[in-house]
Amino acid sequence: MHILHLTALLFLFAGECLVHALTVTPLVTLQDLTALRAQNNYYSSGFTAVTILSSQDAGENGGNLFVAQGKTGQADDGGVYIVDAASVVWERSFSGPVNVLWYGADPTGAAASTTAFNQTINYAMANNADVVVPAGHYVLNQGLQLPSKISMNGEGAVTLDFAQLMTGSAITIGEVDSYYYNAGFPLVDEFQQGKLSNMLIIGSNVSNGIFLHGASVTYATPFYTLEKLDIKFFKIGVVIGQQTWLNGLFSCAIQQYSEYGLYVSDEGNEGEDISVYNSAIFNANNANAIGAYIDRGRSTLSDVNFYGTSFDYNGGPGLVVASGQARFFGCHFEGDLSVSVESEGYAEFFGCWFRIDYGFDITGGQTNFFGGYLPTINTMNITSGTTVNIVDRQT
Ligand SMILES: *[C@@H]1O[C@H](CO)[C@@H](O)[C@H](O)[C@H]1NC(C)=O
Ligand SMILES: *[C@@H]1O[C@H](CO)[C@@H](O)[C@H](O)[C@H]1NC(C)=O
Ligand SMILES: *[C@@H]1O[C@H](CO)[C@@H](O)[C@H](O)[C@H]1NC(C)=O
């Protein structure tokens, strides 16, 4: 019984080897990319594939096998294309997303990973790939530019640490398309949606967090999703700029901001909806800071919708609708905050729950409350001439 079994296994094993021999033969094993770059005669001696051992270069989706593709003119890009001392181009063999570790990102946080992230994003843009960030603490000392079609997703516990960044935004999405366009990359497909997900992103308290910016190039308007992000220690947590379409924040937490948690800037175009789902904006660093500021301008077709989102804050305005339309479904406003709807604002609250200390300040065109829990009705500060409808209120 045992002998028969063993024979069968040997037969299978021999079959496996034959299959590999017919495809690629990784006969050479090297420690790292530096050793590969130093080679000057592998390819001329007949070797077409090498395996790189170091953990930095390994990873998921294969990724540690390099194959000589005979490409000429391809520069060494730091992670996927490696050029050796004989000018032979070795290309990393993988499927799926491109991994920041391949470009030398440091998950221990000891060294800055800015160049590695930038090179990974450049590869992703040119090859229509997504980016994966494995668990770790990555120090980034300059802002990252992310094209709107690229997804960058954390796997496991990922921290992007921008504590050394003193100006600008930690991650700018969208605006960079004009940069990539000018650099000769293909135009962004406007229907292709990117996503940033599953990360803790921390700042210096003086720079901004994520800036979703509309692109100046036609067809490069970002449809972007932010999902499961914990964004903290920024001047403004998330800025949603002009010409941004159908963006969604899903299950994000924005906290310890010093000016605004979420800032939706003006001049939305018709049909540009922004939605925030199951998120939380709370715990400002500064008593004058505003949880969410909506300033969507004149367009009556540009909506900002919040679903199941909570606002909880120590010391100042939780929500200001300065202009444009904002709707709130099943949201929760709690703590020492106020809500205000200003003269060009239009706000509707459906089934929302308010337990706030500073009441409402309504100087806007129209504010409607449908259902919900509104105990502080007496403290509402309603400018004469504004329309406030309250239907089925509970106390
Ligand atoms: C990222 O890469 C682009 C193109 O190579 C370069 O122009 C830009 O300065 C880089 N940014 C950083 C932060 O390294
Ligand atoms: C930002 O402020 C918080 C306190 O709210 C502090 O814990 C954190 O260390 C600050 N970060 C920097 C980089 O100064
Ligand atoms: C009502 O409005 C007045 C004048 O703008 C302001 O001083 C006061 O704080 C407001 N009260 C509430 C409850 O918002």
Q: Do 51 and 104 have their domain in common?
A: no
Q: Do 8 and 119 have their domain in common?
A: no
Domain end residue (candidates: 77, 94, 111): 94
**Mean per-residue pLDDT pooled into runs of 10, the chain (395 residues):** 35 37 62 92 88 65 78 89 94 92 94 97 91 97 89 97 97 66 53 85 97 61 84 96 75 97 75 85 92 80 87 88 92 90 91 86 86 73 83 77
Ligand 2 closest atom vs CA 203: 13
Contact 192, 214 (CB under 8 A): no
- Is 338's C-beta closer than 6 angstroms to any atom of ligand 3? yes
CA distance 37 to 378: 74
How close is the Cα of 332 to the center of ligand 1, in Å? 41
Domain end residue (candidates: 59, 76, 94): 94
Q: How many CA atoms lie within 13 A of 77 on its CB side?
A: 22
Q: Do 130 and 17 have their domain in common?
A: no
Q: What is the dihedral of CA 174, 180, 185, 187, to 10 degrees?
A: 40
Bridge pairing between strands 274-277 and 245-250: parallel
Residue with tokens 């009705």: 377
| Exposure string over 40-73, b if 16+ CB within 10 A, otherwise e | eebbeeebbbbebeeebbbbeeebbbbebeeeee
How close is the Cα of 296 to the center of ligand 3, in Å? 24
Q: Do 174 and 290 have their domain in common?
A: yes
CA distance 318 to 270: 27
Mutate to test the pocket of ligand 1, among 100, 118, 121 (most ligand atoms within 8 A of CB): 118
Identify the residues whose C-beta falls under 6 Å from ligand 2: 163, 204-205, 233, 256, 285
Range of the domain at 34: 2-94
How close is the Cα of 361 to the center of ligand 3, in Å? 6
- Is 251's C-beta closer than 6 angstroms to any atom of ligand 1? no
Mutate to test the pocket of ligand 2, among 200, 232, 233, 255 (most ligand atoms within 8 A of CB): 233
How close is the Cα of 113 to the center of ligand 2, in Å? 21
How close is the Cα of 323 to the center of ligand 1, in Å? 36
- Model's pTM, two decimal places? 0.86
- pLDDT of the residue at 199: 98
- Is 383's C-beta closer than 6 angstroms to any atom of ligand 3? no
Q: Do 251 and 380 have their domain in common?
A: yes
CA distance 141 to 112: 7
How close is the Cα of 360 to the center of ligand 3, in Å? 8
Q: Could you give the number of structural domains in the chain?
A: 2
For residue 280, the one-letter residue type is: A
Q: Among 28, 23, 93, which residue's Cα sits nearest to residue 61?
A: 93
CA distance 240 to 222: 11
How close is the Cα of 364 to the center of ligand 3, in Å? 14
Ligand 1 closest atom vs CA 115: 14
Bridge pairing between strands 62-68 and 89-94: antiparallel
How close is the Cα of 355 to the center of ligand 3, in Å? 17
CA distance 157 to 316: 32
How close is the Cα of 365 to the center of ligand 3, in Å? 17
Instruction: For 223, list phi and psi in degrees, rounded to 5.
Output: -110, 95
Ligand 3 closest atom vs CA 358: 13
258 DSSP assignment:
S
Q: Among 249, 246, 245, 247, which residue's Cα sits nearest to residue 237?
A: 249
Q: Do 158 and 77 have their domain in common?
A: no
Q: Do 27 and 130 have their domain in common?
A: no
Degrees to nearest 5, angle at CA 126 with 162 and 73: 115
CB atoms within 10 A of CB 91: 17
CA distance 263 to 259: 9
How close is the Cα of 234 to the center of ligand 1, in Å? 23
DSSP string, 201-239: EE--SSSEEEEE---SSTT---EEEEEEEEEES-SEEEE
- Closest residue CA from atom 13 of ligand 3: 359
Q: Do 332 and 242 have their domain in common?
A: yes
| SS3 category, 273 | coil
Domain end residue (candidates: 94, 124, 145): 94
For residue 166, the one-letter residue type is: M
- Is 122's C-beta closer than 6 angstroms to any atom of ligand 1? yes
- Closest residue CA from atom 8 of ligand 1: 118
Bridge pairing between strands 332-350 and 360-362: parallel
Residue 179 tokens, joined: 């940069």
373 DSSP assignment:
B
Q: Do 120 and 198 have their domain in common?
A: yes
CA distance 112 to 9: 48
For the CA of 77, the nearest ligand: 1
Q: Do 126 and 194 have their domain in common?
A: yes
Q: Do 184 and 272 have their domain in common?
A: yes
For the CA of 359, the nearest ligand: 3
- pLDDT of the residue at 59: 52
Domain with residue 275: its CATH number is: 2.160.20.10
Contact 232, 256 (CB under 8 A): yes
Q: Do 83 and 114 have their domain in common?
A: no
How close is the Cα of 378 to the center of ligand 3, in Å? 12
- Is 118's C-beta closer than 6 angstroms to any atom of ligand 1? yes
For the CA of 142, the nearest ligand: 1
